[in-house]
Amino acid sequence: MRPAQQPVGLQLTRTARTVSRAFDDALAQAGGSLPVWLVLLAMKTRNLASQRELAEAVGIREATLTHHLSAMETAGLISRQRDPANRRIHIVELTAAGDEMFMTLRAAAIDFDQRLRGGISEQEISRLRGVLARLADNVRPAAG
């Protein structure tokens, strides 16, 4: 079946996997990974007060985040400490090495985005964003 004859959902799934793998590879070549990038990005762009808020911002479960944060702490990218006002809450902060890794992965993400957009006009990108948003809306459960 040629791409134009494939069901849209199948073509979208295959394309998403291809792009996702390529992005993972780009981040790995820069010394990171998608989970590390998402955590660093959330920490740099949002005012998060706790590990729970960070998990919500990244879109993963707290237990999964804890695993990633432990590895990031071992690598010296973050520090974690208990909130003195509420010992159940962990405060997560970037270290200087975490800031440096953020900048490295940011450059890799920007380079990847430029490569991904190669030969595609801003008008086409704008239309693509609209189509992707409509596709997502079409599969969301109806609010009831």
- In a domain, residue 54? The reply is yes
Domain count of the chain?
1
The 3-class secondary structure across the chain, one letter per residue, is CCHHHCCHHHHHHHHHHHHHHHHHHHHHHCCCCHHHHHHHHHHHHCCCCCHHHHHHHHCCCHHHHHHHHHHHHHCCCEEEEEECCEEEEEEEEECHHHHHHHHHHHHHHHHHHHHHCCCCCHHHHHHHHHHHHHHHHHHCCCCC
Q: What is the CATH number for 94?
A: 1.10.10.10
Please give the chain's pLDDT, 144 residues, in tens. 565 688 999 999 999 999 999 999 999 999 999 999 999 999 999 887 678 888 999 999 988 999 999 999 999 999 988 877 877 777 888 999 999 999 999 999 999 999 999 999 999 999 999 999 999 999 998 776
- Structural domain boundaries, residue 101: 18-138
With respect to residue 2, please indicate whether it lies within any of the assigned structural domains: no
Predicted TM-score (pTM) above 0.75: yes
Look at residue 10 and tell me if it is in a domain: no
